[in-house]
Structure 1
């Protein structure tokens, strides 16, 4: 009888081992299938998407692949943001212009619960949204492509005088805009109008200490996670280079220790970002990467060839962000690519907007 038990136990162990190996093989194969399915779908319809969405996709694909065929999607985005900066930056000295544009920016936030919370948070400093989500957004994007845009000096002068610290470190703002505020912090540093990183990090940790996670509802925990991923994303200049794992150990450790809750409570966007955070830190074989990849594969809709929204909407305009993140998570490159610097690429250098000026970059 003991021999039979031993044989049965050995057979069961071999069966489990073989099943596990088969699961790994399926996962590797399926990763490629899901990646290619999303890519084919997005690129087949890319020309139908708004300039901002085309640019978002093209920029990330360029940084993943270095393939110049994606540069023209970035060029479309450059035209859009250059025109926008020309309007906003060149009219900064007009009476009441900043106040009026801030009111306009707040009015289009929407009417849902999150929009109402954001509007309430902005009440003490309504101009903050104009300085950050308008001026910083457009000028930093133009800078990413290797240019300064129209009325750049006027724009930076206004931003240097603006009180950004109050809005960036406000508790109600962090509770409604955590990831966006991280972006603003890094964009301000990028274009040389202020260094608020230490202040924001301190304020963020005070609002979201790890020992109070059990007090956070699902929405607030998602906001915390989204903010944490963007510390890493912004530090990488949005997938242009790796980050120091030690500098962001406080974030990576949190993700590792809380991965079960993350997979249960977070959205597909955030789950993909958690996995990419480890990839940016050079931890490509970390178990969290594997777990997030498997989750994203399971979320893929084979009929629609897309990862739909939490409500099942397969719309590409609202889903491009989620799906390009999924592509990055499933097919991370050995090398990331800076830019695209559009004045240096054959595909784009002859077609630049007249209102941008190339920045002289030091060769590395």
Structure 2
């Protein structure tokens, strides 16, 4: 009887310990969620109180992402600001494509505004064999793909599509020096080209990217190149989701997600706050929000939040809202991922925006 009592007491003790552990874990989760919510709300309040002060492109960037996260029409007008900006830009560029010397001169302008720092110099050098590449991709593809995401067709679209189909994008997309300078941007261009049906370069870019950044050569990468690799990896997933409009297949991107999981310690050590947030969001997009990588990236972002300015500062300590909106809206998304993503916004279907469409766009057929 005594033996049975001891055995019974041991079971009770073990059960109590298990329940205590579960309660402790739950308590930690609750504390973490409270911290996540506080940082999310702090950034949100800060940005939305000053949204009208931000440049149109930045207002649009924020409005589009918050609409896709929430489906709330109150963000549609901020996104509409972006539509006006990209429509005007497409009208200028696409409708002038047949003017003599236009592409060459605008390509030179696109390169000239890259800046004068070390990264800009490296990018300019990489572009030397492809002087018109940036015009076709960062100008024509960028504006037309955005308009297309809204379910619309922009001005002189036929002329634009024809020019993009004739352009040699593959050579620039798969060039080693270009990948070392523009990894994330190039995967965007590849997916945008596929989206607009002007060429499918996604797999070719993937193979070229892996050849430039094989995992067994990571030890040879300095911090800048390692960040470029990470930034490229996150954008494979982001571009595939059409920028947070729908989930992605975790099997298709297991090669990236497994890499993040295996290398999270170095990522947290060497990456910027922007990239660290993107790594966590990559798991959200793949339906793997419970992966430990997400909690680790969330903890890092919470720690990076500056309560005094209610913002995550730049690596140099700058709290500027316009310059830091990208970093901080990523933080918001990481900390408060929705159960459902929302496509568009499709402005012609929303009460808040359908009466205020630019005259130069039409509903996509």
How far did 1:336 drift? 0.4
Distance 1:171 1:233 in 2: 22
Residue matched to 1:355: 360
How far did 1:13 drift? 11
Q: TM-score, normalised by structure 1?
A: 0.94
Query: 1:325-358 deviations in whole A, cap 9, x for unaligned?
Result: 0000000000000000011111101000000011
Residue matched to 1:119: 124
1:227 to 226, 232, 246: 232
- 2:291 equivalent to 1:286: yes
Instruction: Spell out the pairing of 1:271-282 with structure 2 (5 A cutoff).
Output: 271-282=276-287
Instruction: Spell out the pairing of 1:48-127 with structure 2 (5 A cutoff).
Output: 48-127=53-132
How far did 1:359 drift? 1.2
> Is the deviation greater in 16-25 or in 329-338?
16-25
Query: 1:15-51 deviations in whole A, cap 9, x for unaligned?
Result: 9988765543321111100000000000000000111
Q: Secondary structure at the match of 2:242?
A: coil
Query: 1:30-80 deviations in whole A, cap 9, x for unaligned?
Result: 110000000000000000011110010000000000001100011111101
1:244 to 241, 249, 257: 249
Residue matched to 2:49: 44
1:346 to 336, 348, 351: 351
Distance 2:350 2:61 in 1: 18
Structure 2 gap ranges (5+): 1-13
Query: 1:298-336 deviations in whole A, cap 9, x for unaligned?
Result: 000000000010111010111000000000000000000
Query: 1:261-309 deviations in whole A, cap 9, x for unaligned?
Result: 0000000000000000000000010000000000000000000000010
Structure 1 gap ranges (5+): 1-9
Residue matched to 1:5: none
1:136 to 141, 151, 161: 141
Distance 1:323 1:187 in 2: 25
How far did 1:252 drift? 0.2
Residue matched to 1:208: 213
Residue matched to 2:339: 334
Q: Secondary structure at the match of 2:334?
A: helix
Distance 2:163 2:241 in 1: 27
Q: Over aligned residues, Cα RMSD in angstroms?
A: 1.6
- 2:158 equivalent to 1:153: yes
Distance 1:159 1:346 in 2: 34
Q: TM-score, normalised by structure 2?
A: 0.93
Q: Secondary structure at the match of 1:343?
A: helix
Residue matched to 1:258: 263
How far did 1:192 drift? 1.1
2:39 to 34, 39, 59: 34
